[in-house]
Amino acid sequence: MGFYEELGLRTVINASGTLTRLGGSRMAPETLAAMAEAAAAFVPIDELQARAGEIIAGNTGAEAGYVVSGAAAGLSLGVAACIAGMDVAAMDRLPDTTGLKDEVVVQRGHRNAYDHAIRAAGVRMVEVGYLGYPGAGGTYGWQIAGAISERTAAVACPILDTPGTLSLPEVCQIAHERGVPVIVDAAAELPPRGNLRRFIAEGADLVVFSGGKAIGGPQASGILAGRADLIASVALQHQDMDVRAQTWAWRPLLEAGHLSGIPHQGFGRAMKVGREEIAGLVTALRRYAAGSDDDDLERWQRCLDPIEQALVGLPGVTVSHHLSPRRPLPSLRLSFDGDSPGTRAYDVVNRLMGGDPAIALDQSAAELGSLTVNPQGLTVDEAAIVAQRLRRVLG
């Protein structure tokens, strides 16, 4: 009997993408093996993080890298580093930012639910820009420039293409002229693989990616890549710091006067990662970087084709195929006709999840009467089951 079965749980066929609430992505056997192997021996975590960081740097073009417990944790830790730098007393005070830089500037059209992770570091979001002209979330450069002050810890720039918002290179230019770092939330911006390097190349000081989404690493893992001084601050605020000056591996920092003392358990200690997550993330990242967007696209297309074929000619539903030029990730959209298409869409979601096996579709546009089949979490065999069940439920 399997683990989930023994607990009385049904597993789900995931046609909804890399959703955290279903477990993210499926790890490859090689990734699982690396985690099991890592768990079977002890290793100094600071040394393991340093090696993992070099591998992250090599795959992102950043100066340095770090394994975090998710992209959201990467945002919290990244902002903590922008606030405290190498100031041990400031590290100790966080998330109380009294007397410290306590603001993060963001474009209004970039606000999203994950900025809670930024605020967790003790900062207040300072919004600039309009809703409306020159685009749904229009911002002028002078608005960002005018919002930056000696209280600004960072400018946050999540990768959302809200029309009218300033691009990352424009934001970086304005922020850097004023000595302020830019932190990029690119949690779900893979594929394309080129994005692993793109945001660093465009000037970001720190970039976060989820490890448990497209990369296929452990669900509770993520990547923080960027400036070496900020990554060093992250390490000091994240790792177990119950150390002694006489034996601490980083004691040269004390001797050189770069640190006024040893920080104790910091802000990030509540977001720790184990050697298993680090091993899994590194293995998954290497696999992902060695793969190709075209191969993924072909595999995903093989999952979607039978579903699309099964749905042609069903009454009351229009099936369309989507592929954005920016994002090599195909999907199928089922749009319901009739009076209350949103109600029908939610009803279909509930019937699929209540069936056996349970099937999850992407319901982010259900309100508007459409559901999306996202192939990232599907095998070809599962896709055949999805095709069959959808036909029955919609027929």
Ligand X SMILES: *Cc1c(COP(=O)(O)O)cnc(C)c1O
Q: What tokens appear for 137 in the block? A: 């979330």
100-119: contacts with ligand X (CB under 6 A) = 114
Residue number, 281 or 307, with CB nearest to ligand X? 281
The correct pick among 27, 45, 48, 72 for binding ligand X (CB under 6 A) is: 72
- CB of 113 vs ligand X, minimal distance in Å: 8
Judged by CB under 6 A, the stretch of 69-77, 269-277, 365-373, 377-385 that binds ligand X is 69-77
Asked if 125 is part of the footprint of ligand X (rule: CB under 6 A), the reply reads no
Instruction: Show the DSSP H helices in the chain as ranges.
Output: 3-6, 29-39, 45-60, 71-84, 88-93, 115-119, 141-147, 168-177, 195-201, 228-238, 251-255, 275-290, 293-311, 341-354, 380-394
Question: Please, which of residues 337-376 interact with ligand X by CB under 6 A?
Answer: none
How many other CB atoms sit within 10 Å of the CB of residue 209?
Answer: 31
Q: Could you say which of 17, 53, 65, 70 contacts ligand X (CB under 6 A)?
A: 70
* Selection from 293, 301, 284 nearest residue 190 by Cα: 293
Amino acid 392 reads R
Using CB under 6 A, which of 71, 77, 168, 284 touches ligand X? 71
Asked if 172 is part of the footprint of ligand X (rule: CB under 6 A), the reply reads no
For the chain, the straight-line distance linking the first and the last C-alpha, in angstroms and rounded, comes to 35
Residue 354 beta carbon to ligand X: minimum distance, rounded to whole angstroms: 26
Determine if 165 is a binding residue for ligand X (CB under 6 A).
Answer: no
Nearer to ligand X, 223 or 310 (CB): 223
Token pair recorded at residue 291? 């793969």
> Of the listed pieces 30-38, 67-75, 171-179, 315-323, which binds ligand X according to CB under 6 A?
67-75
Give the whole-angstrom CA distance, residue 352 versus residue 382. 14
Residues contacting residue 336 through CB under 8 Å, at least 6 positions apart: 316, 317, 344, 345, 348, 369, 370
Q: Does 263 bind ligand X (CB under 6 A)?
A: no
Q: Does 185 bind ligand X (CB under 6 A)?
A: yes
Name the residues that contact ligand X, by CB under 6 A: 20, 70-72, 114, 158, 185, 187-188, 210, 212, 222
